[in-house]
Structures are given as structure tokens and as C-alpha cells.
């Protein structure tokens, strides 16, 4: 069996499964957020009754992150619905925006959107927060009401996005019927060259197979090249499996996985036991690609879908804005590489930076390069950095969302993960996906630029 099949078989209580089998699996964690949480709760109450209790209050994680820093009252109200439900059900892992468990969330637009407006429990973007808060464990099953739930495949976990109806059912029963996906094999060899990032790996792979090339398939990334990647890098790659239509992503378990997971479950006091799965000799793949990482170059996915692959060096396209943020591209390591290119220089187009989580804001504000923090280096370069960590303009959001594209015709280069028309706001705008380094180099020139031109400067 492949790694995905092994996890699914275990979760179904079977000794083996194969692609195409329909099986009932037990969930280890169900995650939801402010956009889909209220709908999921509605389905749960409708189907199981107003007084029903969730199947396991310790296995439900609720992370408001999407439409948070907006004066839109319906969006604010969604956070209150999650709070009321968490209190009613005794759900501990609710990462509220505010500290008052009986309060109401209201974004104060008069304070502006740069200074933090959240309490001590707020966790930021769900997919980045889940592992950081100790909710991802190798060998487990994670369902989330968000397509980028596949990011947790970085941890040797079966993680996939589901709709509100399925999530309402999982909330009541802890089970879900799953068709075992076929597995595509991406064997990574060698090492990335300077100026090339994990984002370039996944943009390369999606470019090979197209934005629907992995539809309802598992994408397994392994090999010596994968084992050389940091956990952040693996998360970037796993996150974008869905941009090729993938059901889930899967990485092997190794000492890096163990080190990260063990540290996070200890820090947060979450469940510390887990059982990873290892590769065996009899894996059956429907597709195989060997990627020599040393040959990859800075890559861009052009408008209008993540499969429109071009090399940055072959593009000469003017841009209007640049954006770094999201679960894919808003991690500390992403901002470090962004700052490495921008340090001591000035951007020439509107450039926005949105850390994925409050912890990342703290990292950037407390890490010094010489006399300046990384945060200050970015601000000095002209980047508009917000402390209000979250999804922000990654998916557009209400019109007052920080960094949202509100004008047609705007061309934006972005470290986010999705670029279908209208994704970051106006339907007539265009989004070009790239690594944080490529976004930085492009922000310095105002056109798509290969970041290797700035290495060592």
C-alpha cells in the first residue's frame, strides 16, 4: 500500500485497502473556521438535534481566521456563533479572536488595520496554526472544512478538505465515508539552488500535470530531496496539492517530523502519541515523476490558474502590486527569505505583508538582523506590514480587507496559493503566484523578476 492507503486502512479498521474502495474511516481531528463553521454547526444541529452533543469535544478544533479584521457585521457575527457553540459544547480548542468568552467580536475600523486587534488565544490561519498548536500528528486522519487542509500531509497524515454537510456528519459521528484515492508519486532528488524555494517545487509539479491533474488523487512526495526539505517547505508543497485537484498530500515521516510534532504537542499539552506509516515495496502508483530539485528555477503560475507555469526569467510583465502572506506563503521562513531580498532596498509598487499567525508576527518583531528586526527591515523597504495575522486578501474577503484588490486591471504577484479570477478581490484583476523571494525581487522592479539577480547584494 501507499502511505495514504496505509493510514486509511488503519482508520477503517482493515488490514488493507486499495484505490477505489469505499470505506468508513474514523476521524482523529475535525477542524473548522469562521466561514464554514456556522454552516457546519447548522447541519449538525439540523441532523442531530438542537440539544445534540458533538462526538468528541476534544477532537474538534475551531479556528476563526478568514474574515476577521473587517467591519462587516455578518463576518463578525460568525465568530460569535463559533464562540457560543464552543461554550455550549465545552470545546477547548476554540482559538477565539477575543479573550472574553461571553463577549462579542467587533473589529474597530477606526484603529486601522495595521495594529493587532486580537486577544491572547487568537491563532491566525488555520492550516498554519493547526500544527503550531499541536493538532497535527503522523498517521492520523484530519478533516477540515477548507480545501487547503491538505497542508497537514506534510506531517505524514491523511488530511483533506470536506464540505459543511460532511463536516456536520463528522461532528455528530466522528466517521466519514471515503473513496480511497489513487496515488501519484513525486520523487524529489537533489537540493534546491540559492534563490529557489519550495514554492517553486510545487508550482513546477502543478505545471507538469495541470490544475486538475491530480483530481481526487493522493500526491505523495518522497525521496532524498523531500527528506532534505524543512518542515515549512513540506507544508508549502502539501498545501498546494489541492491546486492540482489533489485529495491529499503525503510526506514520509522522519526525524524532522518527529522533532516538530513532539515539540508542539508538548508545548500545547495536546495528545502526544501517534503512529506514523512507512513506505513498503509494494506501492502502486498511477503516475510517477522524478524532480531534480537542483534543476528547478524561480517559477510563476500565471493568471488564470495555478497550472499556467512560466519561468520568472522568461517573463517581462509589469505589475501593480505584490503580496506575501497566507498559509502557503506567510510563515516565518517565507518572510525571512522575503526580507533577505528586500533588505536595504525599496519596493516600487504597493507591497503587502500579512503573517499567517500572531506567533509569526512575534518572530519577525523579535528577530534582529544587525540593529533592525526583520519586521522593521520590511517596513523600511516600504512593505505595508499588518499585525492582524489571518487570511486577509488571500481570498479577497469583504471590501475593507487589508491588501484586497478593489480595482479592475490590477496585476498582483503573490506568495499565496490560488489565482483563479477574482481570488484576491476584483474579478478583472490578475494574480501571479510565486515564491516569497520572487515576489520580493518583483516588488523591487515593478515587473516579474528572477530573485537570483538579487542574491548576495
**For ligand SF4, which is the closer residue by CB, 125 or 444?**
125
> Can residue 404 be called a binding residue for ligand SF4 (CB under 6 A)?
no
93 vs 323, which CB is nearer to ligand SF4? 323
Q: Residues 83, 135, 148, 452: which binds ligand SF4 (CB under 6 A)?
A: 148
Catalogue the long-range contacts made by 90-94 (C-beta closer than 8 Å, 24 or more residues apart).
90/57, 91/54, 91/57, 91/60, 91/62, 92/57, 92/58, 93/58, 93/60, 93/61, 93/62, 93/133, 93/135, 94/61, 94/62, 94/121
Instruction: Give the shortest CB-318-to-ligand SF4 separation in angstroms.
Output: 25
Asked whether position 133 contacts ligand SF4 by CB under 6 A, the answer is no
Nearer to ligand SF4, 11 or 125 (CB): 125
Residues 226-255 that bind ligand SF4 (CB under 6 A): none
For position 326 contacting ligand SF4 by CB under 6 A, the verdict is yes
10 lines the binding site for ligand SF4 (CB under 6 A): no
Cβ-contact 1, 131 below 8 angstroms: no
417 makes contact with ligand SF4 (CB under 6 A): yes
When binding is defined by CB under 6 A, the residue of 28, 34, 146, 200 that contacts ligand SF4 is 146
CB of 416 to ligand SF4, least distance (A): 6
Tell me if 97 contacts ligand SF4 by CB under 6 A.
no
Which residue in the set 291, 322, 394, 448 belongs to the binding site for ligand SF4 (CB under 6 A)?
394
Stretch that binds ligand SF4, among 41-49, 75-83, 120-128, 178-186 (CB under 6 A): 120-128
Tell me whether residue 66 or residue 247 sits nearer to ligand SF4 (CB atom): 66
Among 10, 83, 127, 452, binds ligand SF4 (CB under 6 A): 127
Residue with Cβ nearer ligand SF4 (65 or 337):
65
Residues that bind ligand SF4 (CB under 6 A): 66, 125-127, 146, 148, 326-327, 391, 394-395, 416-417
Amino acid at each position: 500500500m501507499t502511505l495514504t492507503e496505509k493510514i486509511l486502512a488503519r482508520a477503517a479498521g482493515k488490514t488493507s485497502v486499495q484505490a477505489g474502495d469505499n470505506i468508513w474511516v474514523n476521524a482523529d481531528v475535525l477542524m473548522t473556521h469562521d466561514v464554514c463553521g456556522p454552516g457546519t454547526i447548522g447541519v449538525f444541529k439540523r441532523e442531530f438535534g438542537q440539544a445534540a452533543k458533538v462526538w468528541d469535544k476534544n477532537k474538534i478544533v475551531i479556528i476563526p481566521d478568514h474574515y476577521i479584521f473587517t467591519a462587516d457585521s455578518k463576518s463578525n457575527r460568525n465568530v460569535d456563533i463559533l464562540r457560543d457553540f464552543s461554550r455550549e459544547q465545552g470545546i477547548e480548542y476554540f482559538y477565539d479572536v477575543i479573550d472574553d468568552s461571553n463577549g462579542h467580536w467587533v473589529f474597530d475600523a477606526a484603529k486601522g488595520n495595521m495594529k493587532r486587534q486580537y486577544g491572547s488565544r487568537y491563532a491566525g490561519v488555520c492550516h498554519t496554526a493547526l500544527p503550531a498548536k499541536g493538532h497535527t500528528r503522523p498517521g492520523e486522519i484530519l478533516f477540515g472544512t477548507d480545501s487547503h487542509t491538505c497542508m497537514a500531509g506534510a506531517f505524514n497524515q491523511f488530511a483533506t478538505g470536506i464540505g459543511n454537510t460532511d463536516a456536520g456528519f463528522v461532528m455528530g459521528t466522528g466517521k466519514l465515508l471515503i473513496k480511497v484515492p489513487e496515488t501519484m508519486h513525486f520523487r524529489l532528488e537533489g537540493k534546491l539552488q540559492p534563490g529557489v524555494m519550495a514554492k517553486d517545487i510545487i508550482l513546477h509539479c502543478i505545471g507538469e500535470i495541470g490544475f486538475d491533474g491530480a483530481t481526487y488523487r493522493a500526491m505523495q512526495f518522497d525521496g532524498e530531496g523531500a527528506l532534505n526539505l524543512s518542515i515549512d517547505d513540506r507544508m508549502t508543497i502539501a498545501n498546494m496539492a489541492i491546486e492540482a485537484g489533489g485529495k491529499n498530500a503525503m510526506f514520509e515521516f522522519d526525524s524532522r517530523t518527529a522533532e516538530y510534532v513532539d515539540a508542539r504537542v508538548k508545548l500545547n499539552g495536546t495528545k502526544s502519541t501517534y503512529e506514523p506509516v512507512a513506505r513498503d515495496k509494494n506501492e502502486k502508483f498511477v503516475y510517477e515523476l522524478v524532480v531534480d530539485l537542483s534543476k528547478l528555477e524561480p517559477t510563476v503560475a500565471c493568471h488564470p490558474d495555478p497550472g499556467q507555469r512560466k519561468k520568472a526569467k522568461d517573463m517581462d510583465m509589469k505589475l501593480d502590486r505584490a503580496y506575501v502572506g497566507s498559509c502557503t506563503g506567510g510563515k516565518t521562513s517565507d518572510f525571512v527569505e522575503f526580507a533577505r531580498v528586500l533588505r536595504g532596498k525599496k519596493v516600487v509598487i504597493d507591497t503587502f505583508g500579512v503573517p499567517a499567525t500572531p506567533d509569526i508576527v512575534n518572530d519577525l518583531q523579535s528577530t534582529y538582523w544587525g540593529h533592525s528586526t526583520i519586521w522593521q527591515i520590511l517596513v523600511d523597504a516600504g512593505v505595508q506590514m499588518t499585525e492582524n495575522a489571518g487570511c486577509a486578501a488571500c481570498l479577497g474577503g469583504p471590501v475593507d480587507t487589508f491588501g484586497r484588490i478593489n480595482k479592475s486591471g490590477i496585476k498582483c504577484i503573490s506568495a499565496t496559493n490560488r489565482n483563479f479570477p477574482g481570488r484576491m478581490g476584483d474579478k478583472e484583476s490578475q494574480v501571479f503566484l510565486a515564491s516569497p523571494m520572487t515576489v520580493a525581487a518583483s516588488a523591487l522592479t515593478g515587473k516579474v523578476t528572477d530573485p537570483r539577480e538579487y542574491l548576495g547584494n
